[in-house]
A and B are shown apart, each in its own frame.
Chain A
Amino acid sequence: MGEVLIELDGVEKVFTVRRRAGLVRREKRQVRAVDGIGFTVDRGEMVGYIGPNGAGKSTTIKMLTGILTPSAGRLRVAGIDPARERMRLAHRMGVVFGQRTTLWWDLPLKDSYGLMRRMYRIPEARYRANLERCVERLDLGELLEVPVRQLSLGQRMRGDIAAALLHDPDVLYLDEPTIGLDVVSKAKVRAFLRQLNAELGTTVLLTTHDLQDIEQLCERVMVIDHGRLMYDGPLGGLHASGAAGQSERTLVVDLERELPPLEVAGARVVRVEGARQWLAFPAQASAAPLVAAVAAGYPLLDLSVREPDIEEVIARMYAGRG
């Protein structure tokens, strides 16, 4: 086990929202956005933090960055209580909100970066090296003179990521960093993050709705829903976890001709398309006896086995908790 960098214990965030109920009367309602979450993240880890809309992901990140004060529980990042020592923490962390820039809207990227250098007291050599690395790998060369307001979403996102890293933070939080990016930009951002983590050992916690981000970047995922942690472990383990429900693999068979749905023990036909049929069977069961049974009873041309799709697993997981 490495050094613990992020530590949450029984953290809650309750929002009191007032709603108009009738003409004058107002109703108070409590939203438990985060409802008793606890986990730790070691230095150098890259963790995916996923969950359906409104699960409490952004709220967690805002507490970790000191933007929001938790309603209850204990929270430490690099030994610092974020809400109490926001400014000291700021030197240790970087954050990117996909939905909104933290840069100065009317200033060219270069000016924003220059201001950050002074704000964070980044030594000149360090600043140069970091900026150079970001410019090269995030392809920012052409954008440095452009006011943030004029950047496209994908360009702005890359600009924001660079800004969050100039001061060598120990931990980088990314709240939907690939939202609205095209395939090429996504690939660029992912490659950059992978390198960052590998070369500098920067700890990364990212939320996303794009599971490819998680598949390509994170060995560990945490799934939250309704403010509660539902799963914490390797991505592969999601299949097996009870939380994901009974997951199934699929056997795809190509027959010589169109046939009525096959009848084989231990599997059921879920789809028929001409001479091709899809048979679902439990993920833990072996495919071998099934293949043998099909080959023995039917004119088989070809076959393949499909692993359960991670998206599907998670979709089922979300639905199960609905």
Chain B
Amino acid sequence: MAEAVLGRERGRERPPAVVWERERRRHRALEGLRGYGLIAAMWIRSSMTYRMSFLLATVGNAAVTLLDFAAIYIMFTHVDALGGFSLPEIALLYGSCSTSLGLANLLLGNTDRIGTRIRDGSLDGMLVRPVPVLAQVAADRFALRRLGRIAQGSGVLVWAVVVLDVDWTVGKVLLVPVMVLAGAAIFAAVMVAGAAFQFAAGDAAEVVNSFTYGGCTMLEYPPTVFTRELLRGVTFVVPLAFVNWLPALYVLGRPDPLGLPGWVAFLSPLVAFVVFVPASLAWRVGLRSYRSTGS
């Protein structure tokens, strides 16, 4: 008893020096990026302990995605055009959306696991750390082997740009990297929205994947082979058409099947931003509604 009281007195004398810089308020987004970097770096270090298996995984990842394009290539040995598009034109579509998805997947690919974390309550552990939860979820098990898909996608894209018979204006040249980056941002926003959705609907990883992976598979083919209803849906509702269709049509000098003016092709970055706003709001609402588990 006396000892405990004494201890408390001693405790109170603890100099405030230990209150180092933690009192300072910091910007959320910057803290998120910093935390993301720390966690990702740790996972990279830990995967590098087995260098060989890392290499194999990366090569395997590239090879599997390459089979995708091989299928399209083989198809073109039998036909000359698909929906009026030549092989290099399709390669432009394929390469850009594959690279965009690869980037989004590298940076945010683990957000679809959040359904499990919500159900088994292991999200608790992330909520008690001084890093935004979204950054922690996204960086969890960060896997560099996903570079495989990016390498393969950008390889196909470069090939397409080289062999395409296009009058390259400054606008078109600029539009190619913008298309890839804005496309990645749109996919990323869809992933965030999907993660938020999982707070309400148990494990919805499959629903999210049907928009990202499924969306990308659709975007590999020319818009001309799809119905107008579908095109309207992916232009105005879930704006996947801005990932690559609209910019690529402009680069190829083809009209939009829905008759939208050419400058719409340059709206992708804006669209990505516009999708991010409701996605991040939904994420906040979702996180607030998190109820952990009873045990």
Please give, as numbers and ranges, the residues of chain A lying within 8 Å of B3 by CB-CB distance: 198
Interface-lining segment among B10-18, B153-161, B235-243: B10-18
Please give, as numbers and ranges, the residues of chain A lying within 8 Å of B224 by CB-CB distance: none
Q: Judging by beta carbons under 8 Å apart, are A100 and B11 in contact?
A: no
Q: Judging by beta carbons under 8 Å apart, are B46 and A119 in contact?
A: no
A106 to B3, CA, bound (A): 41
Scoring B3, B20, B46, B130 by chain A CB atoms within 10 A of each residue's CB, the highest score goes to B130
The answer to whether B291 has its CB under 8 Å from any CB of chain A is yes
Instruction: Please give the distance in Å from A116's CB to the nearest CB on chain B.
Output: 8
The answer to whether B262 has its CB under 8 Å from any CB of chain A is no
Which B31-81 residues have C-beta < 8 A from chain A? 31, 35, 38-39, 42, 45-46
The closest CB in chain B to the CB of A114 belongs to B42
Known contacts A106-B46, A120-B130, A168-B18: A198-B7 contact under CB 8 Å: yes
Q: How large is the interface on A (under 10, 10 to 19, 20 to 34, 35 or more residues)?
A: 35 or more
Known contacts A43-B12, A62-B292, A123-B20: A115-B124 contact under CB 8 Å: no
Which A164-216 residues have C-beta < 8 A from chain B? 167-168, 197-202
The answer to whether B127 has its CB under 8 Å from any CB of chain A is yes
Q: Judging by beta carbons under 8 Å apart, are A66 and B127 in contact?
A: yes
Please give, as numbers and ranges, the residues of chain A lying within 8 Å of B38 by CB-CB distance: 115, 118-119
Q: Tally the A-B contacts, defined by beta carbons under 8 Å.
A: 113
Interface-lining segment among A86-94, A250-258, A308-316: A86-94
The answer to whether B162 has its CB under 8 Å from any CB of chain A is no
Which secondary structure characterizes the binding site on chain A?
loop
The answer to whether A99 has its CB under 8 Å from any CB of chain B is yes
Please give, as numbers and ranges, the residues of chain B lying within 8 Å of A114 by CB-CB distance: 42
Partner of A121, one of B4, B14, B20: B20
Please give, as numbers and ranges, the residues of chain A lying within 8 Å of B122 by CB-CB distance: 100
Please give, as numbers and ranges, the residues of chain A lying within 8 Å of B291 by CB-CB distance: 15, 68
A31 to B292, CA, bound (A): 14
Q: Judging by beta carbons under 8 Å apart, are B1 and A65 in contact?
A: no
Which secondary structure characterizes the binding site on chain B?
helix
Please give, as numbers and ranges, the residues of chain B lying within 8 Å of A219 by CB-CB distance: 1, 4
The answer to whether A40 has its CB under 8 Å from any CB of chain B is no
The closest CB in chain B to the CB of A65 belongs to B128
Known contacts A119-B35, A198-B7, A201-B7: A87-B132 contact under CB 8 Å: yes
The closest CB in chain B to the CB of A197 belongs to B7
Which B128-165 residues have C-beta < 8 A from chain A? 128-132
Q: Considering only CB atoms and an 8 Å cut-off, how many residues of chain B contact the other chain? A: 40
Instruction: Please give the distance in Å from B5's CB to the nearest CB on chain A.
Output: 9
The closest CB in chain B to the CB of A123 belongs to B20
A-contact 0/1 string along B163-178, CB 8 Å cutoff: 0000000000000000
Instruction: Please give the distance in Å from A258's CB to the nearest CB on chain B.
Output: 44
Please give, as numbers and ranges, the residues of chain A lying within 8 Å of B20 by CB-CB distance: 121-123, 126
Instruction: Please give the distance in Å from B73's CB to the nearest CB on chain A.
Output: 39
A66 to B132, CA, bound (A): 13
The answer to whether B288 has its CB under 8 Å from any CB of chain A is yes
The answer to whether B22 has its CB under 8 Å from any CB of chain A is yes
Partner of B11, one of A62, A99, A106, A202: A202
Known contacts A62-B292, A126-B18, A168-B18: A102-B12 contact under CB 8 Å: no
Known contacts A91-B22, A118-B38: A201-B127 contact under CB 8 Å: no
Closest 8 CB pairs of A and B: A201-B11, A198-B7, A102-B125, A91-B22, A90-B130, A44-B8, A67-B127, A87-B130
Residues of B at under 8 Å CB distance from A?
A: 1, 3-4, 6-8, 10-12, 14, 18, 20-23, 25, 28, 31, 35, 38-39, 42, 45-46, 121-122, 124-125, 127-132, 288, 290-292, 294-295
A/B interface sample: 19 pairs, CB < 8 A: A46-B4, A67-B124, A88-B25, A90-B128, A91-B130, A95-B128, A99-B295, A111-B42, A115-B42, A121-B20, A122-B20, A197-B11, A198-B7, A198-B10, A198-B11, A199-B7, A201-B7, A201-B10, A201-B12
> Other than the known A46-B4, A123-B20, A198-B4, what 7 A-B pairs have Cβ atoms closer than 8 Å?
A88-B25, A88-B130, A101-B125, A106-B46, A115-B39, A122-B20, A198-B7
